[in-house]
Chain A
Amino acid sequence: MKTATAAPPGGAPATAPRRVRRHLPTSPWLFLAPGLLAVTAFSLAPFLLTVGNSFTDNRTLVPGGFVGLANFRELLHDEMFWTGLRNSALYVLVTVPLLVLLPLLLAVLVQRHIPGITFFRAAFYTPVVASVVVVGLIWSWLLDDRGLVNGILEALGAGPVGFLSDPWLLLLSAMLLTVWKGLGYYMIVYLAALTNVPRELHEAAAVDGAGAVRRFVTVTVPALRNTMVLVAALSSVSAFKVFSEVYLLAGENGGPAGEDITLVQLVQQVGTGLNGRVGYASALSVVVFVVTLGLMLLVLRANRKEDA
């Protein structure tokens, strides 16, 4: 009653707070409902279904039964699983450092206000908006035995390089494609963060005699540490779940004899088609989820340690 009778500072009607309080318990849920429904239907339910399926031997067209941990035991002895895990881990190890550092350098470069810089900003961002399928096809033409890159190499006397036939070069080519395509996106993230770095810090460092490199290492990098952690987390999750780039360059088998297959491509290979092993593919998906979650936690923990 006190709140109802007390006059608010602005002289607003005294009955307003009571009305608001009465609606509080349900109103937020009503606002949240559409989003919650969408998340439940398209994320939570499929996730739970996948977890459940991983304990069954369900196939695409033939319902199976509960098999306990059999699928998880099987994947421990599956050569392709270990190849997929190796390739996905390598993808993270190679692309994440590049995607944390290169876009930062690019952002620092294009942050300057010089004539024509907007062209470069747009140019660096273009691969992000290009379709990955189109970009993948263009790269496969460029890297073909008789493509432009090998044509130049041959003209220089280097001979054709098996970018699309050697398993390691194929994987490396896919990684470079991922990095090239992701540079622009993370560059924009860094550009936004760079605007928050106080100009005074740079000026003070310059007065103390610090050069451009020194200012980058001692001012820019520490100021952007949280953004770098965010970029590391985002890029490591997407690198571990890579599919399109490898699929487009290495083919549906995942390279020669499946040597370049990644875990997500293996899930697709095993779980789809008329004879798809939905149960086993779900077990693989659960492993991908657990490892991805682990990667996120690792990055966040590393950040917390540095904070402490």
Chain B
Amino acid sequence: MRKFRIAALALVGVLAFSACTVGTQNVDTTSAEGEIRGTITFQTWSLRAAYRDYFEKLIDDFEKKYPGTHVKWIDQPAEGYADKISADAAGGTLPDVVNVSPDLAAPLAKAHLALDLDRAAPQYRDEYLPAAWKSSRIPGMKGTYAFPWYLNTGPLFYNKKLFAQAGLDPDDPPRTYDELFRDALTMAKRSKGRIATLASVPTIEDFGRYGVRLMNKSGTAFTFDEPKGVELLRRYKKLYQAGALDRQAFTSTPEQAGRKFMQQSVAMNPGSALDLDKFKKDAPSLYKNIGITDAPNNTGSPNMYVQGLMVNAAGDNKATAVAFAHFVTNAENQMAFAHETTVFPSTKGALDTEYFTRQDGTDKTRVRIASAKSLDTAVNYTPVLLSEDMKTALQNAVTRALRGDESPEKALKRAAEECNRLLRLG
């Protein structure tokens, strides 16, 4: 009996201990009043290596503009970024200003850790493109939870030499999914399965660009299992069977897919402006034959990647954090950052300036102007509420369908059900 009592007491203690998590329900997410002074922490997402000088000057300028402030800058690598934020948030050490994408802002907003800028800083709203300002709104919640920062459409690189070898026009890359599937099958046939056109399975952005409705209007259920989604998977399955999709696409990381593109065993691969320098240095023969185009789409609206700056609602110096986040994302500083690399400002009027409209005959400017123009109609296809585990559920379903383990209908239906279940869990 004594042993039983001790065991029961231990169990009660353990349960009580496990209930002791840091609660954030009482955090004020609606105001950032106070003096602009003191120390704040600013976290970027894999930017230090390439843009150290830009950020150090930016921070110096802010500290000069607001005497008595001090900004500690930390940068996290791209890999495991969400896990790092998650650990900081759970441990109560989330930086004051955090670089986030909308899908990372959503769980933080739900946990009452993101400041609602519609209420805490509405005076800045009109400085930004309306679509960019809305990008960090969460379905089912009121408010905007991050300052819009830079935008990107993400170029699609292709290997002109491989296109020419397959008898395809190297100056006319596929622009729609019909053209992509046609060219990919041709490439596979003429290379006898040696050259795959793609190295990755379709993601949620592909479903969006193909014209699949991803969520219902109220944001309460995923709808990517509609017939158009099934059609997309059927067509990808044909690619896989013909060898037009790399055999290791199911397990490839973006880095591995990029490596295959650099080895010239894959003809097309998405990337960023930073990749051009990498090709020049590590794969000069590829660089000579590199082609740049937009990812194919059937909707007329390319995908837009949005980066934002979230202000930690539980921070000690919220007024300073808001001032700094606005300073980094104001028109002047966003334009300065756009001159550093091929990204696009989210402030009103910036895309109409000469830098984004006047040709100077170079490839770089041509790509910049084309991408800036496409932002007029661009859409962020990744649903804000699509979490990492939902992405995994979708990718597993796509794999099962492409490998023939399940019909595309059944695989997508199961994935949508799983995503909706996870969505209900919150």
Chain A positions within 8 Å of B, measured between CB atoms, are 45, 48-49, 51-53, 55-56, 58-63, 65-66, 140, 144-146, 160, 162, 164-165, 170, 250-253, 255-258, 269-270, 272-277
Q: Give chain B residues whose Cβ lies under 8 Å from the Cβ of A250.
A: 251
For B23, give its contact among A63, A164, A269 (CB under 8 Å): A63
CA distance A250 to B250 in the complex (A): 9
**Which residue of A has the minimal Cβ distance to B265?**
A146
B387 A275 Cβ-Cβ under 8 A: yes
Q: How far does the Cβ of B131 sit from chain A's closest Cβ, in whole Å?
A: 24
A251 B253 Cβ-Cβ under 8 A: yes
For B251, give its contact among A59, A61, A146, A256 (CB under 8 Å): A256
B396 A253 Cβ-Cβ under 8 A: yes
Q: How far does the Cβ of A258 sit from chain B's closest Cβ, in whole Å?
A: 5
**Which residue of A has the minimal Cβ distance to B397?**
A257
B83 A272 Cβ-Cβ under 8 A: yes
A61 B86 Cβ-Cβ under 8 A: yes
Residue picked from A49, A255, A270, A274, most chain B C-beta under 10 Å = A274
For A60, give its contact among B13, B19, B90, B247 (CB under 8 Å): B90
B250 A257 Cβ-Cβ under 8 A: yes
Given A63-B23, A256-B399, check contact A165 B113 (CB 8 Å).
no
13 A–B contacts from the bound complex (CB under 8 Å): A52-B19, A56-B15, A61-B90, A62-B110, A165-B248, A170-B251, A253-B392, A253-B395, A255-B250, A273-B389, A274-B86, A274-B89, A277-B425
CA distance A252 to B85 in the complex (A): 18
Cβ of B111 under 8 Å from chain A: yes
B392 A58 Cβ-Cβ under 8 A: no
CA distance A149 to B246 in the complex (A): 18
Q: Give chain A residues whose Cβ lies under 8 Å from the Cβ of B426.
A: 59, 62
CA distance A252 to B392 in the complex (A): 9
Cβ of B350 under 8 Å from chain A: no
Q: Give chain A residues whose Cβ lies under 8 Å from the Cβ of B403.
A: 256-257
B21 A58 Cβ-Cβ under 8 A: yes
A253 B251 Cβ-Cβ under 8 A: yes
Cβ of B203 under 8 Å from chain A: no
Given A58-B21, A61-B89, A253-B395, check contact A270 B389 (CB 8 Å).
yes
Given A145-B247, A145-B248, A270-B389, check contact A63 B19 (CB 8 Å).
yes
B400 A257 Cβ-Cβ under 8 A: yes
A273 B82 Cβ-Cβ under 8 A: yes
Give the size range of B's interface with the partner. Answer: 35 or more
A49 B248 Cβ-Cβ under 8 A: no
Extra pairs beyond A55-B15, A253-B395 (20, CB < 8 Å)? A59-B425, A60-B89, A61-B90, A61-B111, A61-B113, A62-B111, A65-B19, A144-B248, A146-B265, A164-B248, A251-B251, A253-B392, A256-B399, A256-B403, A257-B400, A257-B405, A270-B389, A273-B82, A273-B389, A274-B388
Cβ of B123 under 8 Å from chain A: no
**Which residue of A has the minimal Cβ distance to B400?**
A257
Q: Give chain B residues whose Cβ lies under 8 Å from the Cβ of A145.
A: 246-248
Q: Give chain A residues whose Cβ lies under 8 Å from the Cβ of B388.
A: 273-275
Within 8 A of A (CB), among B244-261: 246-248, 250-253, 256, 260
B17 A48 Cβ-Cβ under 8 A: yes
Q: Give chain B residues whose Cβ lies under 8 Å from the Cβ of A140.
A: 256
Q: Give chain A residues whose Cβ lies under 8 Å from the Cβ of B387.
A: 273-275
Q: Give chain A residues whose Cβ lies under 8 Å from the Cβ of B251.
A: 164-165, 170, 250-251, 253, 255-256
Cβ of B107 under 8 Å from chain A: yes
Q: Give chain A residues whose Cβ lies under 8 Å from the Cβ of B389.
A: 269-270, 273, 275, 277
- Please provide the 5 A-B residue pairs with the shortest distance between their CB atoms, ordered closest to farther: A52-B18, A61-B111, A256-B250, A274-B107, A52-B14
Instruction: Give a binary string over B259-298; 1 marks a CB under 8 Å from any A CB, 0 the rest.
Output: 0100101000000000000000000000000000000000
A274 B15 Cβ-Cβ under 8 A: no
Q: How far does the Cβ of B112 sit from chain A's closest Cβ, in whole Å?
A: 9
